[in-house]
Amino acid sequence: MKFYQEGDKSRAICSHCEGLVQTTFTRRNVPFDDGLGEAKGVLVSVCDVCDQVVGIPAQSTPAIKAAREAAVVSIETRLPASYLDRLDQAMHVITTAAATKHRKMFLSLYIDFLAREQRAGEGTIFTWRQAACTAVDEKTHLDHLFNVCPHKEESKRLSLKLNAHIASELDDLQTQSQLSRTDFIKHMICQMQNDVVTSPKEKLVQELTLFARAAV
C-alpha cells in the first residue's frame, strides 16, 4: 500500500472530465455521503483539470471515520414496549420489509418532517405540552391521550445514533414542546402512528415510502 503526501502526483479516472487525468494530492474538506457534515483537512487526490476530488487514499479513511463518529449523537431512553410496537406498526404500513434495525431511519425522517412542519408554521409541537398541562397527572394524561396500555408493561431500550443535523432538530423540537426527552419521544412515536396509520398525512407517507424503497 503506497503512502501519499501533499504534492504527490498520480493518475485517476475523473467522472467530471470523463477520462484519465493527472491528479495532485492535497488536503480538502470531504463531505459525508448524506451531505450532513464533513471531515476537515483530509488528504485526497484532486483532478488537475477541474479541481474536483477524484480519490481518497486508504491512509485518510481513519480520519474520515473518526470525523463521522464524532458527528453522531447517541440517544438512549427506555419506553414501555407498546410504544415501540406503535413505531413498528407505522414502519410496517410504509413497507412490509421494515425491521427493528430501521427504527433509526424512520424516526430520523419523521423528526425532519416535524421540524419542517414547525418552520412552516404547520406543526403541533406546542399543543403537546399544552394538552398535557391540562391534566393533574401528566403521565396519566399522556397514556390516556394516546390510548396506551393502562397495565404495567415491560420497558424496552430505544437506542438511536443520529447525525448532528437530525439530533439538533430533535433538541429544538423537544425544547419547543417543553417536555422531557422521554415524554417527547413518546409523543413523537404516537404522533407518527397517527400521521401514518390512523389519519395518514399524504405528503409524509409519500416521503417515507419513496425513501424506504431505496433504503430498506
Range 9-70 classified under CATH 3.10.20: yes
**Domain positions in the chain:** 9-70, 72-215
Q: Which residue bears the cell 430498506?
A: 216
pLDDT at 138: 47
- 89: three-class secondary structure by DSSP: helix
Residue 31's H or E segment, with its range, is: strand 19-31
Per-residue exposure over 187-200, b if at least 16 CB sit within 10 Å of its own CB, e if not: bbbbbbbebbeeee
| Mean pLDDT of all residues in 167-188 | 92
| Mean pLDDT of all residues in 118-129 | 76
pLDDT at 32: 82
- Angle in degrees, CA 177, 181, 184, rounded to 5: 45
pLDDT grade, residue 163 (50/70/90)? confident
| Mean pLDDT of all residues in 164-189 | 91
pLDDT at 42: 96
pLDDT at 136: 40
Percent of the chain with pLDDT over 70: 87
Residue 153 reports pLDDT greater than 60: yes
Residue 149 reports pLDDT greater than 70: no
pLDDT at 137: 45
pLDDT grade, residue 83 (50/70/90)? very high
pTM: 0.65
Range picked from 31-40, 72-81, 188-197 for highest mean pLDDT: 188-197
